[in-house]
Amino acid sequence: MIEKPVAVVTGASSGIGAETVRLLSERGFQVFMGARRIERLQALAQKYGGIPIALDVSSTESVRQFTQELPDSVQVLVNNAGGALGLEPIVNFDENQWVEMYQSNVLGLARMSKALYPRLLTRPNPVSHVFNIGSVASFEVYPGGAGYTACKHAVRAISETMRLEWLGKPIRVTEIDPGFVETEFSLVRFGGDIARASSVYAGMEPLTATDIAETILWSIERPPHVNIDCMVVRPLDQARIDKIHRQA
Ligand code: NAP
């Protein structure tokens, strides 16, 4: 029997992560999916056949338990778990929100990469692939966004450092940097305030989670000697993180 290639997607219970699970599964990957809302993962698994495992990337112990469940043959790791919390100026920053953002977007990504590195290195077939989901916030800033943009700037620094430290190893490192994507991102950021979340996309056409999941699949399918370092993908209606064209 031919073994399916194995992919791991964090933050798979919603948005970009869930859509990545769908596309990779359809392409023949065995996908292990992690997030805190296990019931959502189970529902996804029913539809696409992936394997749901509870994961909180903010916890070293949870990452240890999650990675223990994975086979040795992990070939693709999608570090997607994360998001933004709040929009307060620096002088009013909420310390708990900043800690939570650093825990998921930055430390979570580092924990997962550290835990899976030995497997990515020894079972490349012919190359392994790590994806770090950054953002246009990895290189642009906006008022009220410092906690999140600092996290995503850190993701950029980590992606570049991985490429330096892993030079000569069979592991590709790709950072995907989306602009506005309509997912639960803004709903989470604004604590469940539906009206405030939908106002983010008012009068403009945001990206969909499928648009971003397709960039991941496309990057995997390049020939093994090709590394897509970084892909910035914005809606046509977004020229910069804070420059949006909106219909009246
Ligand atoms: P989303 O719909 O809110 O999905 C976020 C996912 O991350 C959820 O599955 C959530 O699952 C998971 N997550 C959050 N904290 C976690 C933790 N501690 N442990 C495990 N999983 C965790 O938002 P999204 O837009 O798809 O976001 C995915 C990634 O894209 C994030 O890194 C985000 O920063 C980035 N991004 C989004 C946009 C955008 O406009 N939407 C733009 C640029 C970059 P649970 O709550 O079930 O754990």
Q: What pLDDT digit, counting tens, does each position of 181-213 carry?
A: 999 999 999 999 999 999 999 999 999 999 999
Alpha helix segments (H runs only) across 123-175: 146-165
In a domain, 54, yes or no: yes
Helix 108-122 to helix 146-165 angle, to the nearest 10 degrees? 20
Question: What are the tens digits of pLDDT across the range 124-180?
Answer: 689 999 999 999 999 999 999 999 999 999 999 999 999 999 999 999 999 999 999
Cis status of the peptide bond prior to 126, with omega within 30 of 0: yes
Q: CA angle at residue 161 from 242 to 120, to 5 degrees?
A: 110
In a domain, 116, yes or no: yes
**Residue with the nearest Cα to atom 14 of ligand 1?**
82
In a domain, 1, yes or no: no
Probe residue for ligand 1, chosen from 8, 9, 14 as the CB with the greatest number of ligand atoms within 8 Å = 14
CB-based contact 40:48 (threshold 8 Å)? no
In a domain, 171, yes or no: yes
Question: What are the tens digits of pLDDT across the range 205-240?
Answer: 999 999 999 999 999 999 999 999 999 999 999 999
Domain count, the chain: 1
Amino acid at 38: I
Concerning whether 148 is annotated as a catalytic residue, the answer is yes
Is the beta carbon of 234 within 6 A of some atom in ligand 1?
no
Question: 118: domain range?
Answer: 6-244
CATH number of 223's domain: 3.40.50.720
pTM confidence score: 0.98
101 alpha carbon – ligand 1 mean position (Å): 10
Residue 1 confidence (pLDDT) above 70 = no
